[in-house]
């Protein structure tokens, strides 16, 4: 029998220790690779069951809202009718987006998810836009939509999506939905963020306040400034 001193280890033990150290190192490397490769991160995990937002608490808007005291929380805080009505599509895009995010449904605070309903008249479009804080799952519940996104390599991925079918948009990529059917269409979109944010390309570029100088856009889009001014006039910039 080999008696080991406290500072001595058997070959088996030292191999186990080595393999544990390798395992931990690998885990650390994987975690840091994940951190550095995904600078756009999803909402953080909650630290409590729920934190119904008190939207009036203060001006603090860092990573969500302060919680309403639990003693004042009721079932109604986890219920909302915000998506129950058809949106008015009588606008230039012939579409309407209604959001159930933390601002319209405070019960979502810290839960890392939200949902929209997007109504489309025939020919309606939800114009090219991106969500800086979320991927998006599109469920078509009525009609037929052309749904597409463009990757950072400028590859366009699209499908015509019918009622009951889904299409996923990776986080941060420019995407749209377009009603290719002859009737109204409806999509429910789901996000892994309580407030995904949206940069709507035509509004950001041609409707910002103050306006982006026309010569910048003319050069960027390789058109005459008159063309830029015409587009700007459509978006009030
Ligand atoms: C659709 O693209 C949405 O943002 O709800
Ligand atoms: Mn979207």
Assign 42 to helix, strand or coil: coil
Work out the end-to-end distance of the chain between its first and last CA atoms, rounded to an integer number of angstroms: 87
Kindly identify the ligand whose nearest atom is closest to the C-alpha of 119: 1
Cβ < 6 A, ligand 1 pocket: 97, 116, 118, 126, 136, 175, 177, 189
For residue 222, the CA-to-ligand 1 centroid distance in Å is 29
* pLDDT recorded at residue 236: 81
Burial class (CB in 10 A: 0-12, 13-18, 19+), 215: exposed
Tell me how far apart the alpha carbons of residues 131 and 137 are, in angstroms, rounded to a whole number. Answer: 12
Q: What is the DSSP letter of 235?
A: T
Please state which CATH number belongs to domain 70-196.
Answer: 2.60.120.10
* Nearest residue (CA) to ligand 1, atom 1: 189
**Taking the domains of the chain in order of start, what are their residue ranges?**
70-196, 207-237
Q: What does the pLDDT read at residue 40?
A: 54
Segments of the chain scoring below 50 in pLDDT: 1-10, 12-15, 17, 20, 22-39
Q: Per the omega criterion (within 30 degrees of 0), is the bond before 30 cis? A: no
Strands (DSSP E) found in 66-105? 95-100
Kind of pairing, strands 95-100 and 166-169?
A: unpaired
Query: E-strand spans in 17-76?
Result: none
């Amino acid at each position: 029998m080999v008696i080991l001193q406290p500072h001595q280890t058997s070959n088996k033990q030292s191999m186990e220790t080595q393999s544990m150290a390798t395992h931990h190192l690998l885990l650390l490397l994987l975690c840091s690779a994940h951190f550095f490769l995904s600078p756009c991160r999803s909402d953080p995990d909650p630290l409590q069951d729920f934190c119904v937002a008190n939207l009036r608490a203060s001006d603090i808007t860092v990573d969500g809202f302060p919680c309403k005291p639990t003693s004042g929380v009721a079932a109604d805080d986890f219920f909302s009718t915000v998506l129950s009505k058809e949106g008015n599509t009588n606008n230039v895009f012939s579409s309407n987006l209604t959001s159930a995010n933390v601002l319209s449904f405070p019960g979502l605070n810290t839960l890392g998810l939200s949902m929209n309903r997007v109504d489309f008249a025939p020919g309606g479009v939800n114009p090219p836009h991106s969500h800086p804080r979320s991927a998006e799952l599109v469920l078509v519940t009525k009609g037929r939509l052309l749904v597409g996104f463009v990757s950072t390599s400028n590859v366009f991925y699209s499908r015509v999506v019918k009622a009951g079918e889904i299409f996923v948009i990776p986080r941060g990529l420019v995407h749209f939905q377009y009603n290719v059917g002859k009737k109204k269409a409806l999509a429910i979109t789901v996000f892994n963020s309580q407030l995904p944010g949206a940069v709507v390309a035509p509004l950001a570029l041609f409707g910002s306040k103050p306006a982006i100088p026309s010569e910048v856009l003319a050069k960027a889009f390789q058109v005459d400034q008159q063309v830029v001014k015409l587009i700007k006039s459509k978006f009030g910039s």
